[in-house]
Structures are given as structure tokens and as C-alpha cells.
Structure 1
Amino acid sequence: MFVGSYPLRLDEKGRLALPVRFRDQVADGMVIKKGQERCIYGLTMNRVAEQSAAMAAMAPSDTARARMAARMSFGSMVEIEPDKTGRITIPASLREYAGLDRDVVIVGVDTRFEIWDAANWEAYVAELEAAYADLESEGMPTLS
């Protein structure tokens, strides 16, 4: 499970050191891909296999939207292997998509992590934090 928020910096070659807590989870391989709200998703290979199986099990729907979603998701995936120090290199095309320059935030989101431009993450949180605080627990799992 990926949890927490970690402010980090990209180096001049587009490399980023993954949080220590995430490294064991991606030791067997991972992908990064385009995510929603102009961030990058990081997924374990097991999670990619689960998503692929779930898509295959869905009722056949050859709609333009389904084709677009599959193409954008799987077509933007890049297999990544962290180096010995836990760094990954984010390709220029994904850095451009997410607007990544130097300051970034990695956010754990259960079965994936997201890589955000720090300013975009701050704006996203500022816009939605009040709405989140006001959410009712109905429809959301509770721990009580």
C-alpha cells in the first residue's frame, strides 16, 4: 500500500529518488504512465496485471471512449527499474505531460503513487481540501 506525501526534487536528468517506504513495493518492477489531473501514476507490475485482467473481464464495449482510455493508459506506460539508490528516470514526454520541472510531490494513493508538480499539487489541495473536510462518510469506508 502506498501512503503519505513526499516533497522531492528532480535532478537535471529527470531522475527522482523514490521514498524509502515505496522501494520494496516496486523492487519487482513497475510502470509509470499518464494519470488524471496531469500527474503521473506509478504502478507495480502486479497492479498492471490486475488492471489488464479487469479490463478483459468487462463486458465487451467497443466504444470510442473505451478505446481511448485503453490507448492512453497502456500506450503511455513506461517500464521502470529503480537503480541501486532507488532513483527512477522519468521520460521527457511524461515530465512534459505532468508539467514537472524541479520540485515535485509523490503522493501515495493506496494501490498506486502519483507524481505531481509541487505547485500543481498545492493548488489541487487548496481547491479541494475544504470540500474533502465537508464530505459525509456515507459511501466511504469508515474505521469505526
Structure 2
Amino acid sequence: MPADSGEVMLLGTYTPKIDAKGRMALPAKFRTQLGPGLIMARGQERCVYLFPQAEFRRVAMQIQHTSLGNKAAREYLRVLLSGAVDQTPDKQGRVLVPQMLRDYAKLGGDIVVIGVGTRAEIWDKKAWEQYLADNEQGYSDIADDVLPSVEW
């Protein structure tokens, strides 16, 4: 039984491969939390999001309820939902990453799967390494803005 979205905490960095059929083995630590069915969708910065179904529904409904009059919300929802697909892992814990999403994120054989709390992200390995290199200084610089009320 998958954890509900309030209990999901996907963490870490993993380096599975995408096989010739476009399948990827989910990191073992993510399988239970993602549940028997998951949603893949276009993410920001050219990655692919992996959501437990309940979390995807929560996010989509939150955007949808923003306002039909909000053009940015409509556009975001259009892109998110039009690129979203239901996936059920096979007995080996593999899921198909559809060609449309592989093309969007420029995924080849070398990928990185990262846990980002209530979702995971699939990145092309070189793109992820570049993202980290480009953003490491910013990570320190924005801490006060992003974490003003968190006590360490």
C-alpha cells in the first residue's frame, strides 16, 4: 500500500539506466512510496517528474482551482496534463519512460533520478551535473530567502 502524499519523502540520487525499450528501473527506495501506479509528467528545467498518484492529483487540483481566469495557471496545467502519463511498474520495478518525455528531457541511457520530497525527477546525467555546477553557489546564496523560518 503506498504512503499517502503526506507521508511521502523521496530522497537521494540514483543512476539507473534506460534500456533499449525505454524502460527504467525505479530506485528500490522509491517503489513503495510511489505505489503501484505513478504519474510521469514534464517537469521544469527539462526533467521528468515522477509523482505518486495521490500527490499528482493534489497538485493538479490545486493548480486547477487557482482560477480559470488565471492565464498562467491555464497554460501551466495544459502543459503539465498533456504530457502526463499513468505508469504501473512491472514485477522488476521497471517503468516505461514514454518517448515523448524522453525527447522532452533529452534522456539517453545515462540518467539520474533524484528525490525531491513529494516527487522524484529524472534528468539526463550530463544535464543534472551541469545544473548542479551552475546552481551550487546559488544554493548558499538563496538559503536565507528560501528558509527564513527554518531553524538549523
TM-score, normalised via structure 1 length: 0.91
- Distance of 1:143 and 1:17 partners within structure 2: 37
Match of 2:144 in 1: 137
- Distance of 2:101 and 2:143 partners within structure 1: 35
Contact 2:112 2:122 in 1 (8 A): yes
Following TM superposition, by how much is the alpha carbon of 1:114 offset from its aligned partner in structure 2, in angstroms? 0.2
Contact 1:2 1:108 in 2 (8 A): yes
Following TM superposition, by how much is the alpha carbon of 1:74 offset from its aligned partner in structure 2, in angstroms? 1.1
Moved over 4 A (4+): none
Cα deviation, 1:60-119, whole Å, max 9, x if unaligned, reads 242432221111011111000011111111011100000001100001000100000000
Q: CA RMSD in A?
A: 1.6
Following TM superposition, by how much is the alpha carbon of 1:135 offset from its aligned partner in structure 2, in angstroms? 3.4
Query: The residue matched to 2:49 in structure 1 has which SS?
Result: strand
Following TM superposition, by how much is the alpha carbon of 1:48 offset from its aligned partner in structure 2, in angstroms? 1.5
Q: Which deviates the most, 130-139 or 5-14?
A: 130-139
- Distance of 1:45 and 1:115 partners within structure 2: 17
Higher strand share: 1
Work out which structure has the larger RCO, using CA pairs closer than 8 Å and 6 or more positions apart in sequence.
Answer: 1
Q: From the superposition, tell whether residues 64 and 57 of structure 1 become closer, same or farther in structure 2 (CA, over 3 Å).
A: closer
Contact 2:24 2:96 in 1 (8 A): yes
Instruction: Structure 2: give runs of 5+ residues left out of the alignment.
Output: 1-8
TM-score, normalised via structure 2 length: 0.87
Match of 1:35 in 2: 43
Identity of aligned residues (%): 36
1:3 counterpart = 2:15: no
Number of equivalenced pairs: 143
